[in-house]
A and B are shown apart, each in its own frame.
Chain A
């Protein structure tokens, strides 16, 4: 006997499990989503990091001073240092430090909310030195260890940059007695 094809009018699927799972995923992604910091939104370049196999430690999200060395235009020769500190409170005190006022003029300050661009290694060295002293002063005012900033330095350089740029930063770090630091890399797939 041939089956009679019935038109199912008002056909309803129970969507409740679907909605359950979707909400679950939605909340997961909402909580894990990290929004761009001020330094990131100011960043107009992209850093192609070198790839490594041996490294396992992740770049800390807080209390890290990052020195970015990037190719920030189509011309490969146009390079600059970008300095930023992830702790906003500490970052503001660094920018207001009197010893930087000589070259860190108000109009430059206006242009560098999240990170300071410089091409001069002396300026970068002054920034590193100021960050170290300000971090010490900052930690004295804080009581709990959670509030204190364990300032770490990381060099985030583009892989196409000549080593001279990195080597100059390493020398600057050495002169400011910051002998421990990190190179930022990407995981080799």
Chain B
């Protein structure tokens, strides 16, 4: 290892110069034992690797209509998706009788209904208060995925997509309509 300097000198660094006993030597093949350095570095490395979280959460855009007076819309353009207490999904367009639909069929249905009416269709989502939040997000995700396809198809026809979507309160009337189905 490195030679410990003039230890017997009793304080003060050994002077380099004429009177110094040490001679400046060029140390060829000089090596430092790097093992402790590597140990500590690896320790720190593993520490930082474990504390960093690489997955950052994502966000889904949502909007609620502002609190103004109700807007009159043509009922024939309404596409209503209702979710019952037990998680069953029902859809209906205009005044049709609500039809049960599976989660995986929802995307295709939303695409078809939207493309039939171009930008005219208004999607309304009504969800029972007792449905778990996960179901709600899954439905929103399906509708968002449908939206990508709709936008692409409309762009092919040189149309700009204007999404008309709202989430609204489920009334007792809504509950009554899908009760026995």
A interface residues with partner B (beta carbon < 8 Å)? 12, 15-16, 18-19, 22-23, 25-26, 29-30, 32-35, 49-50, 52-59, 69, 154-167, 170-171, 173-175, 177, 179-187
Contacts and interface: CB of A to CB of B under 8 A. Distances in A.
Interface string B43-81: 011001101110111111111111100000000000000
Contact of B59 (A25, A59, A174): A59
A185 B67 contact: no
B134 A160 contact: yes
B64 A187 contact: no
Nearest to A188: B141
B103 interface: no
A52 B137 contact: yes
Contacts of B169: 167
Contacts of B45: 22, 25-26, 29
Contact of B129 (A56, A163, A182): A163
A38 B63 CA distance: 29
A52 B176 CA distance: 31
Contacts of A174: 64-67
Main secondary structure of the interface of A (DSSP, over half): mixed
Given A15-B34, A26-B44, A167-B169, A182 B59 contact: yes
Interface in B135-181: 135-138, 140-141, 144-145, 147-148, 167, 169
16 contacts: A19-B41, A26-B45, A33-B52, A54-B148, A55-B60, A58-B58, A160-B132, A160-B133, A161-B133, A163-B131, A163-B133, A167-B129, A179-B63, A182-B59, A185-B60, A185-B137
A158 B64 contact: no
Contacts of A33: 48, 51-52
Given A59-B59, A162-B133, A167-B129, A175 B148 contact: no
A17 B12 CA distance: 37
Interface in B58-116: 58-67
B130 interface: yes
Nearest to A16: B34
Contact of B133 (A16, A23, A52, A158): A158
Contacts of A35: 51
B34 A55 contact: no
B48 A50 contact: no
Contacts of B147: 54
B38 interface: yes
Nearest to B42: A22
B41 A22 contact: yes
Contact of A59 (B56, B66, B148): B56
A35 B48 CA distance: 10
Given A52-B138, A52-B140, A57-B61, 17 more contacts: A29-B45, A29-B52, A30-B44, A32-B52, A35-B51, A57-B58, A158-B133, A162-B131, A163-B135, A171-B64, A174-B67, A179-B65, A180-B62, A182-B60, A184-B57, A184-B59, A185-B57
